[in-house]
Amino acid sequence: KAGVTQTPRYLIKTRGQQVTLSCSPISGHRSVSWYQQTPGQGLQFLFEYFSETQRNKGNFPGRFSGRQFSNSRSEMNVSTLELGDSALYLCASSLGAGGRYEQYFGPGTRLTVT
């Protein structure tokens, strides 16, 4: 099976712009979670989607949003970018929702905000 794919892999944006990141889960996986990884804060949970519904949301401002489509692909959007949003954004897919299922991570999207 193909692994989790994320596009684009690298992105450079300026402050105030918005960005959309895409994640395609492993075939058959219905849950997608998003994480922000930075050297200082480690892996921070953004949100989890299961069957097109947001199941959980982390402690991030409303500028961070996401959605999941009927084919389980997911997108996350960050509006009004700030310098502090520079990070590696990882998505992970799993068969089902919640902590019972192992997560398979994509390679990430490296976002740089200037």
Partner 1 sequence: QQPVQSPQAVILREGEDAVINCSSSKALYSVHWYRQKHGEAPVFLMILLKGGEQKGHDKISASFNEKKQQSSLYLTASQLSYSGTYFCGTEQNTGNQFYFGTGTSLTVIP
Report 75-94 residues binding partner 1 (CB under 8 A): 90, 92
CB 92, min distance to partner 1, A: 8
Residue closer to partner 1 by CB (options 81, 111) is 111
CB 71, min distance to partner 1, A: 22
d(CA 68, CA 22): 10
Contact 14, 50 (CB under 8 A): no
Binding status of residue 106 toward partner 1 by CB under 8 A: yes
Q: Choose, by CB under 8 A, the member of 19, 21, 26, 48 that binds partner 1.
A: 48
- Per-residue binding string, partner 1, 7-36, x by CB under 8 A, is --------------------------x-x-
Q: Which residue has the tokens 């058959």?
A: 28
d(CA 37, CA 52): 24
Joined together, the tokens standing for residue 87 give 């990070």
Joined together, the tokens standing for residue 82 give 């700030």
Where along the sequence are the contacts to partner 1 (CB under 8 A)? Answer: 4, 33, 35, 42-45, 48, 56-58, 90, 92, 98-108
